[in-house]
Each structure stands twice: as structure tokens, then as C-alpha cells.
Amino acid sequence: MILFVSVGPNPRIVRFFLQEKGLTLPETRIDLVGGENRAPAFLALNPAGQLPALRTDDGHVIAEGPVICDYIETVMGGPPLIGPSPERRASVMMWTRRVEQAFCDPVTRAFRYGPAIGLFGKRMRCLPEAAAGMADLARDGAAWIDAQLDGRDYLAGDTLSLADIVLWCFADFAATRAGLPVDPAHANLSRWFARIADRPAAQDTAALAYGRA
Ligand SMILES: N[C@@H](CCC(=O)N[C@@H](CS)C(=O)NCC(=O)O)C(=O)O
């Protein structure tokens, strides 16, 4: 299998997930800033033109970070971060979808329509007039998640899961690249963020995510 990666929070999710499982995959790095992901060779692999993507040994291509993680857990095992029970799996997927919709998506749009408009305005429809509103939506999402974390160490139970990894990679990206740091008034979210920031995978995946590797 080959994992196609680039800068950005979405490939980071898969790299973080693999490290938590003690697994590795061969990687091919794609030059996102230079537009390699929107060139014909990569579009033939993933017509969405985005990273991450995984090519299996028999030629299947899987995209969408959480879907790749689910596939990895199914075929490679390691400590469960989605399963193992059907109920845990449902809870993890529920929280993953919630944080994607409430936080990751508005952060992505705030970034693309705002500070990164010079890059993304040439490759997709961007709404610069919506940038501030998207940042507000992300703040609303963070406030809601903060309330949900009351009395809990992790989103989907007592241990780290895919949902935490997805939210953490985007919370770090929001702070670092989108001018949306975790609000210290959100005490639950702040504690949760700091707890996960201490994990080796958080540190080890930063360099590529921010273009320093
Ligand atoms: N829904 C996709 C989003 C993937 C995505 O937007 N990846 C970014 C990198 S973090 C990307 O490829 N951006 C470059 C572009 O869209 O041209 C997922 O969950 O993996």
C-alpha cells in the first residue's frame, strides 16, 4: 500500500492515526502548494484532487481521511481507535461526523476564503465575503464541542479515538494557520487540546503538516 500525503490537516489525521497504532506505510509526498494534486497524474488517482489518498496493493484507491483510517483499522489492526464493539464504532463515527461538520468544515472554508485565497481562489470556487462568517461558525462549533466535553477526557468515551484525532488536527491547524486558537474560556476544550498535544504523534506529525519536512 502507498499513502499519498501533503501539507495540511487531512493527511496529518492519517499519519497521526497510524502512529497511535504503531504502524507505518510507505508514503509518496505530493506538492500541494505547487498544484501537483490538481495535475492530470494525481487526478487519475483521486478525481477529487485532494490529499490524503491510499492506493492498495491491488490498485484500489481510497480517499477521505477518516475512511482511510477505517480501512487501515480493518486490514492492519493495531490498538482500536474506531472499534472494537459496534457501539463504540458507532459512537466514534458519530463524533467524527459531528466535529467535521461543526468545526473542521468551517475552519477549512475560513482558511481557504481568507488567508489562503491566493492559493485556493485559482483552483475552486471561493467566497471571500463568507470568510468571517465561516470563522464565526467555527467558533460556534468550538463552543458547542467545549460543552460536550464537560466531564469527559475524550469525545467518544474514556480513550482516544479517531474523532479526537480529527478534531485535534483541525484545532491545531485552526490555531496555526487560520487565526482561530482555542479560546481559553473554553476550559474543557483547552484541557482536551493540551492533553492530546502531549502525545508523541501530535509532535511527530507537525513538521510535514506545516511544510517543514
Ligand atoms: N474531505 C477530504 C478533504 C481533503 C482535503 O481537503 N485535503 C487538502 C489538504 S489538507 C487538500 O488536498 N487541499 C488541496 C486542494 O484542495 O487543492 C478528507 O477528509 O480527506
Q: What is the pLDDT along the chain (213 residues), one digit of tens a residue?
A: 999 999 999 999 999 999 999 999 999 999 999 999 999 999 999 999 999 999 999 999 999 999 999 999 999 999 999 999 999 999 999 999 999 999 999 999 999 999 999 999 999 999 999 999 999 999 999 999 999 999 999 999 899 999 999 999 999 999 999 999 999 999 999 999 999 999 999 999 999 999 987
Q: Minimal CA–CA distance to 180: which of 111, 133, 113?
A: 111
Q: Are 155 and 95 in contact, with CB atoms under 8 Å apart?
A: yes
Q: How many CA atoms lie within 13 A of 3 on its CB side?
A: 24
pTM equals 0.98
Fold for the domain defined by 86-199: Glutathione S-transferase Yfyf (Class Pi); Chain A, domain 2 (1.20.1050)
> According to the model, what pLDDT value does residue 178 have?
96
**What's the rounded Cα separation, in Å, for the pair 71 and 78?**
12
Question: Residues lining ligand 1, CB < 6 A?
Answer: 6, 8-10, 32, 37-38, 49-52, 64-65, 123
Atom of ligand 1 nearest to the CA of 35: 17
> According to the model, what pLDDT value does residue 163 have?
99
> According to the model, what pLDDT value does residue 213 have?
79
> According to the model, what pLDDT value does residue 108 have?
98
Q: Minimal CA–CA distance to 12: which of 142, 155, 201, 212?
A: 201
Q: Which residues in the chain are classed under CATH 3.40.30.10?
A: 2-76
> According to the model, what pLDDT value does residue 107 have?
98
The residue whose CA has the least distance to atom 18 of ligand 1 is: 64
Q: Which parts of the chain fold into alpha helices (H)?
A: 9-21, 40-45, 65-76, 86-99, 105-113, 117-120, 131-148, 162-177, 187-197, 200-204, 206-209
The residue whose CA has the least distance to atom 20 of ligand 1 is: 64
Q: Which residues in the chain are classed under CATH 1.20.1050.10?
A: 86-199
Q: Are 68 and 52 in contact, with CB atoms under 8 Å apart?
A: yes
Ligand 1 pocket test: pick from 46, 50, 67 the residue with the most ligand atoms within 8 Å of its Cβ: 50
- CA 10–ligand 1 middle distance (angstroms): 6
- In this structure, whether the domain defined by 2-76 belongs to CATH 2.40.100.10 is answered with no
The strand pair at 27-29 and 2-5 is best described as parallel
